[in-house]
A and B are shown apart, each in its own frame.
Chain A
Amino acid sequence: MAVFHRPGTLGEACALMAERGDAMVYGGGTAVQILEKQGVLFASDLVDISGIPGLANIEETSSGVRIGPMTTLRAVETSPLVRRVTPLAARVYGHVANPRVRNTASVGGNLAHGDYRLDPPTALLVLDATVELTSSGGTRTVPLREFFVDFQRTAVRPGEIITAVEIPRQDEAAGSWFAKLSSLSANDWPCASAAALVTGGRRFGRVARRIRLGLGAVAPTPVFTQVEVAADAGADEAVDAARQAAEPLIDPIPDVRGGVAFKRHLALVAVEEAVRLSWEERSDARGFFRDRRRRR
């Protein structure tokens, strides 16, 4: 059994993480508890950071929002600030699991969990978020696009604690959508997911629009790509371009939720859905889609 610690300051937490053999941060515990029950939790120490003041704040910054690691997924989803500054992020956090899990799981634990099927990374990749990591040796910042290094491996080094996630402000005129497709029960983990953000366009006098795509569950890590499409292109063209850009990144892991061919197919359906709806939202008189989004 791992030893449980509840430090009162970040310094103490970092010290514990540095000193103990196989120390692990305990965030919301929704993933750690499952490992424990399955008998595959090999940590010597669990460092619960929920008692450290200030780690659950959401603040507006000059460039966007800064979210503390112990903020619950539910708090991000429902935060008026996040909804205003990065609506795509708020929407995607609202798609994780169910309210019970979202009320318990933390923003830091979610990313550090490192699963290839996680929902929030798809949006954070698209929005070019950064992760702040703190250890007894200091603080560093890792772009989310470099955070997921391999199957269930992240850039978090031994001794490091995620102390913030920073999300740049989402272009107000951007169109965005999140498509989460499950293959068994509707409430299951995704079998394929895609977040899309369409920026640029005529309003800024540019000729091209940029489609950014974050994909979940379709490869050993969450993956990111982007492509430019002429601003006067139709949605079909935009979808084709996005599918072409996404296709090489799709490298599904077969399991009870589907084989490679099916997951590949579903990944492209997710891309299509996310891109079509964000493209249309970008092109549309925005009111219609805003309404629709709220109703979902």
Chain B
Amino acid sequence: MPEDSFETGVAVGERWARTDGRAKVRGELLYAADQPARPCLDVAIHRSTWPHARLVSVDTTDARAMDGVVAVVTGADLHAVLGERMLTGPAFADQPCLAYDKVRYVGEPIAAVIGYGPAAVRRAAEEIDVAYADLEPIHDVDAAIAGTAFVHDELRPSAVFGDLRHLRGKKDTNVNYEYTLRHGNSGAAAETAAHTTSGDFWCPPTHHVPIELPFTAAWPEGDRIEVLSTTQTPSYVRQTLADLLDLPLNRVRVRCAPLGGSFGAKMYDRLEPLAAALAWTQRTAVRIAVTREEAFLLTTRHGAAVTGSMASDEAGDIVAAEADVRYDTGAYADVGPRITAKSGMIANGPYRIANATVRSRCVYTNKPSAGPFRGFGVPQVTWAHESLIDELARARDEDPAAFRRRNLLREGDVAVMGTTMHSADFISCLDAVTGAVGWDAPLEPAAGRLRRGRGVAVGIKAVLTPTISNATLQLNQDGSATLLISTVDMGQGSDTIMAQIAAEVLCLGEGQVRVVTADTDVTPYDTITAGSRSTYHTGNAVRLAAEKMRDRLIGLAAGRLSVETTDIKLTSDGVVSTQTQETLTVPDLLLGHFGARGTTLTTEADFATSWAPYDKETGRSPQVTEHWFAGAAAVQLIVDTATGRVHIEHLAVAGDVGRAINPALVEQQLTGAAVMGIGHALFDELVFDEGQITNGTLLDYQLPSIKDMPDRITPIVIQSPHRSGPFGAKGVGETAIIPLAPAISNAVRDAIGIRFTRLPLTPERIITALAEQHTEGGTA
């Protein structure tokens, strides 16, 4: 539906400026590390140099004797005080904030030095002497599944996810979670298929590289602990710290600041458990400000292997699809099990598929932990299914866009995992991006050593379900409003659009609703700011709170004007009686009600989604998610066959956002995610050697630069309103990154005739594949 066919309101659908834009560009915005806090001691961390080893001894004598050192705390020290509570994590209690029995990756924290000044504590941390007893390291997912060395001696599900309980105490495995989907009989169907494609796909681990580095400060405040942290999950962190320190929730305060980017890097258990444990046990204020090099060790995107196949019949219907997915979750499960199930269930793509099988596993290895990353594991499976379907179309001699269009899920279809599609307009996304790059126009061949090609891909993702959001709204007597939510603005613009949602209901203008930065003493519970869930979930809570506020104003006005509530309307001028046309401004109404200036009227609302658990046998569910994200990308590019470089001429991305609360911010999210996806497609990866990251600095870790931008980039907003979204809206933060890498790879395939199955498509991979093609004509 075109953008302007909606009823125009006062706020929703408007391109309001970001509330924090001015402060950011002027350098006035205070990030967490810049916020005033009490004087804190600095912390430096001594990290493991071994991927897998027993800790024999940790000698801190020399470090303790150094200038400026106040205390040195080892994992064993904390373990003596906190016991097993020291193990935290969203799915499994498997993350010690300091290792105490063994180390599980190069870079794992072993001891913390507390003292005066970053330089002093860093120097002392180097003087800590650790003796290790080598254990067999596990570097690779498939070796981890097959091998006899284990990262964790036994599985320890945390209390958070009920469906992991049966895994408690399981030994001798590196597979901490497995999801299977069975729909029909894919094996039998594939045997009689007319065309089959298959492949072994690999996406390497990557890092988020937000501009702002992670930071946490913590201090005891009487019988309470206060924490100021860079986190997308203040409510989760409060619960974790309460469990860790055995405190009631009302004695743990977690304060946020706007984040300078995150992409999933600042979620769940990062620096907070260590900072809180140090502050609480040492009864002192500490701050942990990590370096860029340390940030690379804190969390990564899951590397993932997918062995997949797809088959069609003579008519071109997809009769079978299979996927065997192995997520490399590193040393800690983190949220890997969730990713394994939620991304595994769509590993065959958003298509009508008669028979489908998925096996998706979450696997421990001796690497830094993998956790959430824009897309939550979906880009990795999309890499496989969008490559497979492209080859299948080619095997049939059919246009890859047309083949997809014919097979894509439509409104009301039941997807292979059992849930009905709604508000996921893949067809419009596909048509929009192919239309934008001129898909049907003949491709003009490039000159000399250059080859031109076009590619397309679609992507599907389920919103994390079930989750909960709350909102508290204060309407101030002067008519301005203050909104209390625990959604964290990290550049996605949530403070702007949440204000727009409240303003729409209350007929307020730009700048009249202020969103309070998350603070668990003040702002109510919210599951997480992640997974593109906030616009829908928090947005709905905000809408409900605002509607309650509107109803209260109408009730007050009806009393004042002695008319029925049905006669009162709220407008931008105030409350109006439709009978008498008598108007009262909101300030007058509230002044009359309270008899004082500066007063506040408060409403609150909560919004929760529910799901139906997976069937134990088939992995299917009639309500696996509250809603779907649908997106597509199309690209025209040039491959230089001499250098192997890919130059993108035009990249078009589209996402079905239900309804754009702020079209400008939606376009920016689509564009930003697409640019991040260009990096993942072409060169962005963490390189390991024997468990050690070899490119963990910004000198060597490569991100797209201004010179890597496509000549042209076209973000397209598709709006197929969701029946229960706030004003029909859904999220958009991840949509464009999902199909990006396969769209580029499909265009490379079109240009040079080579199918790549491993990301990224570096010039070296392309040159090597071209050389092999020259000698044998194979795939890479």
Contact in complex: B643, A266 (CB < 8 Å): yes
Contact in complex: A181, B700 (CB < 8 Å): no
Roughly how many angstroms separate A79 CA and B483 CA in the complex, as a whole number?
56
Is there a chain A Cβ closer than 8 Å to B707's Cβ? yes
Is there a chain A Cβ closer than 8 Å to B585's Cβ? no
Q: Scan A234-276; emit 1 where CB is below 8 A from any B CB, else 0.
A: 0000000000000000000001101101100110010010000
Is there a chain A Cβ closer than 8 Å to B768's Cβ? yes
Roughly how many angstroms separate A39 CA and B125 CA in the complex, as a whole number?
13
Is there a chain A Cβ closer than 8 Å to B146's Cβ? no
Contact in complex: A262, B704 (CB < 8 Å): no
Q: Which residues of B contact A181 (CB under 8 A)?
A: 643, 645
Most buried by B among A98, A184, A259: A184
Is there a chain A Cβ closer than 8 Å to B399's Cβ? no
Contact in complex: A34, B700 (CB < 8 Å): no
Task: Evaluate whether A184 and B683 lie within 8 angstroms (CB atoms) in the complex, with A256-B700, A265-B767 already known.
Answer: yes
Most buried by B among A38, A186, A265: A186
Q: Which residues of B contact A187 (CB under 8 A)?
A: 705-708
Q: Scan A173-206; emit 1 where CB is below 8 A from any B CB, else 0.
A: 0000000010111111001000000000000000
Q: Which residues of B contact A188 (CB under 8 A)?
A: 702, 705
Instruction: Give, as a whole number of angstroms, the nearest-CB distance from A39 to chain B.
Output: 8
Q: Which residues of A contact B695 (CB under 8 A)?
A: 256
Contact in complex: B702, A269 (CB < 8 Å): no
Residue of A185, A255, A265, A266 near B702 (CB, 8 A) is A185
Is there a chain A Cβ closer than 8 Å to B694's Cβ? yes
Contact in complex: B708, A185 (CB < 8 Å): yes
Contact in complex: A185, B703 (CB < 8 Å): yes
Q: Which residues of A contact B702 (CB under 8 A)?
A: 184-185, 188
Residue of B697, B707, B763 near A183 (CB, 8 A) is B763
Residue of B119, B687, B705, B767 near A185 (CB, 8 A) is B705
Prevailing SS type, chain A contact patch: loop
Q: Which residue of chain B lies nearest to A269 when distances are taken between CB atoms in the complex?
A: B642
Residue of A256, A262, A272 near B767 (CB, 8 A) is A262
Is there a chain B Cβ closer than 8 Å to A1's Cβ? yes
Q: Which residues of A contact B191 (CB under 8 A)?
A: none
List residues 142-195 of chain A with CB under 8 A from any CB of chain B: 181, 183-188, 191
Q: Which residues of A contact B763 (CB under 8 A)?
A: 183, 191, 258, 262, 266
Q: Which residue of chain B lies nearest to A258 when distances are taken between CB atoms in the complex?
A: B764
Task: Evaluate whether A186 and B764 lie within 8 angstroms (CB atoms) in the complex, with A1-B119, A34-B699, A269-B642 already known.
Answer: no
Instruction: Give, as a whole number of angstroms, the nearest-CB distance from B519 to chain A.
Output: 33
Residue of A38, A98, A256, A265 near B687 (CB, 8 A) is A256
19 further A-B contacts with Cβ under 8 Å, apart from A185-B704, A187-B708, are A183-B683, A183-B764, A184-B682, A184-B702, A185-B703, A186-B705, A186-B707, A186-B708, A187-B706, A187-B707, A188-B705, A255-B700, A256-B687, A256-B695, A261-B768, A262-B763, A262-B764, A262-B768, A272-B642
Q: Which 3 A-B pairs have the closest CB atoms?
A: A187-B705, A186-B707, A184-B702
Roughly how many angstroms separate A37 CA and B292 CA in the complex, as a whole number?
10
Q: Which residues of A contact B (CB under 8 A)?
A: 1, 34, 37-39, 98, 181, 183-188, 191, 255-256, 258-259, 261-262, 265-266, 269, 272
Contact in complex: B643, A185 (CB < 8 Å): no
Q: List 22 A-B contacts (CB under 8 A).
A: A1-B119, A37-B291, A39-B122, A183-B683, A183-B763, A184-B683, A184-B702, A185-B683, A185-B702, A186-B645, A186-B708, A187-B705, A187-B706, A187-B708, A191-B763, A256-B694, A256-B695, A256-B700, A265-B767, A266-B643, A266-B763, A272-B642
Q: Which residues of A contact B645 (CB under 8 A)?
A: 181, 186
Roughly how many angstroms separate A221 CA and B780 CA in the complex, as a whole number?
33
Q: Which residue of chain A lies nearest to B704 when distances are taken between CB atoms in the complex?
A: A185
Q: Which residues of A contact B706 (CB under 8 A)?
A: 187
Q: Which residue of chain A lies nearest to B695 when distances are taken between CB atoms in the complex?
A: A256
Roughly how many angstroms separate A266 CA and B700 CA in the complex, as a whole number?
19
Q: Which residue of chain B lies nearest to A259 when distances are taken between CB atoms in the complex?
A: B764
Roughly how many angstroms separate A21 CA and B700 CA in the complex, as a whole number?
32
Is there a chain A Cβ closer than 8 Å to B239's Cβ? no
Q: Which residues of A contact B699 (CB under 8 A)?
A: 34
Q: Which residues of B contact A1 (CB under 8 A)?
A: 119
Roughly how many angstroms separate A198 CA and B665 CA in the complex, as a whole number?
52
Instruction: Give, as a whole number of angstroms, the nearest-CB distance from B312 to chain A.
Output: 37
Q: Which residues of B contact A261 (CB under 8 A)?
A: 768
Q: Which residues of A contact B291 (CB under 8 A)?
A: 37
Roughly how many angstroms separate A196 CA and B518 CA in the complex, as a whole number?
59
Q: Which residues of A contact B700 (CB under 8 A)?
A: 255-256
Q: Which residues of A contact B697 (CB under 8 A)?
A: 38
Is there a chain A Cβ closer than 8 Å to B282's Cβ? no
Q: Which residue of chain B lies nearest to A188 when distances are taken between CB atoms in the complex?
A: B702
Is there a chain A Cβ closer than 8 Å to B762's Cβ? yes
Q: Which residue of chain A lies nearest to B642 when distances are taken between CB atoms in the complex?
A: A269
Instruction: Give, as a whole number of angstroms, the nearest-CB distance from A296 to chain B.
Output: 13
Roughly how many angstroms separate A256 CA and B679 CA in the complex, as a whole number?
15
Contact in complex: A269, B708 (CB < 8 Å): no
Roughly how many angstroms separate A34 CA and B767 CA in the complex, as a whole number?
32
Instruction: Give, as a whole number of angstroms, the nearest-CB distance from A191 to chain B.
Output: 8
Instruction: Give, as a whole number of angstroms, the nearest-CB distance from B648 to chain A.
Output: 11
Q: Which residues of A contact B642 (CB under 8 A)?
A: 269, 272
Roughly how many angstroms separate A256 CA and B689 CA in the complex, as a whole number?
11
Most buried by B among A1, A34, A188, A261: A188
Roughly how many angstroms separate A184 CA and B705 CA in the complex, as a whole number?
10
Q: Which residues of B contact A34 (CB under 8 A)?
A: 699
Q: Which residues of B contact A265 (CB under 8 A)?
A: 767
Task: Evaluate whether A184 and B762 lie within 8 angstroms (CB atoms) in the complex, with A262-B767, A262-B768 already known.
Answer: yes
Instruction: Give, as a whole number of angstroms, the nearest-CB distance from A125 to chain B.
Output: 23
Q: Which residue of chain A lies nearest to B122 when distances are taken between CB atoms in the complex?
A: A39
Roughly how many angstroms separate A261 CA and B772 CA in the complex, as a whole number?
13
Q: Which residue of chain B lies nearest to A265 when distances are taken between CB atoms in the complex?
A: B767
Q: Which residue of chain A lies nearest to B119 when distances are taken between CB atoms in the complex?
A: A1
Q: Which residues of B contact A272 (CB under 8 A)?
A: 642
Roughly how many angstroms separate A185 CA and B647 CA in the complex, as a whole number?
11
Instruction: Give, as a whole number of angstroms, the nearest-CB distance from B779 to chain A.
Output: 19
Instruction: Give, as a whole number of angstroms, the nearest-CB distance from A121 to chain B.
Output: 19
Roughly how many angstroms separate A181 CA and B697 CA in the complex, as a whole number?
21
List residues 631-670 of chain B with CB under 8 A from any CB of chain A: 642-645
Q: Which residues of A contact B293 (CB under 8 A)?
A: 38
Q: Which residue of chain B lies nearest to A1 when distances are taken between CB atoms in the complex?
A: B119
Roughly how many angstroms separate A178 CA and B645 CA in the complex, as a whole number?
18
Instruction: Give, as a whole number of angstroms, the nearest-CB distance from B33 to chain A.
Output: 17
Q: Which residue of chain A lies nearest to B123 when distances are taken between CB atoms in the complex?
A: A39
Q: Which residues of A contact B682 (CB under 8 A)?
A: 184
Roughly how many angstroms separate A259 CA and B694 CA in the complex, as a whole number?
14
Q: Which residue of chain B lies nearest to A179 when distances are taken between CB atoms in the complex?
A: B643
Q: Which residues of A contact B694 (CB under 8 A)?
A: 256
Roughly how many angstroms separate A265 CA and B642 CA in the complex, as a whole number?
9
Q: Which residues of B contact A39 (CB under 8 A)?
A: 122
Q: Which residue of chain B lies nearest to A263 when distances are taken between CB atoms in the complex?
A: B764
Roughly how many angstroms separate A272 CA and B640 CA in the complex, as a whole number?
14
Q: Which residues of B contact A186 (CB under 8 A)?
A: 645, 705, 707-708
Q: Which residues of B contact A266 (CB under 8 A)?
A: 643, 763, 767
Q: Scan B693-726; emit 1 where CB is below 8 A from any A CB, else 0.
A: 0110101101111111000000000000000000
List residues 283-307 of chain B with CB under 8 A from any CB of chain A: 291, 293
Roughly how many angstroms separate A186 CA and B703 CA in the complex, as a whole number?
10
Q: Which residues of B contact A184 (CB under 8 A)?
A: 682-683, 702, 762
Most buried by A among B644, B687, B697: B644
Q: Which residue of chain B lies nearest to A181 when distances are taken between CB atoms in the complex?
A: B643
Roughly how many angstroms separate A256 CA and B644 CA in the complex, as a whole number?
16
Instruction: Give, as a whole number of angstroms, the nearest-CB distance from A276 to chain B.
Output: 11
List residues 734-770 of chain B with CB under 8 A from any CB of chain A: 762-764, 767-768
Q: Which residues of A contact B122 (CB under 8 A)?
A: 39
Q: Which residues of B contact A185 (CB under 8 A)?
A: 679, 683, 702-705, 707-708
Residue of A183, A255, A269 near B762 (CB, 8 A) is A183
Roughly how many angstroms separate A31 CA and B93 CA in the complex, as a whole number?
43
Roughly how many angstroms separate A187 CA and B698 CA in the complex, as a whole number?
13
Roughly how many angstroms separate A8 CA and B401 CA in the complex, as a whole number?
69
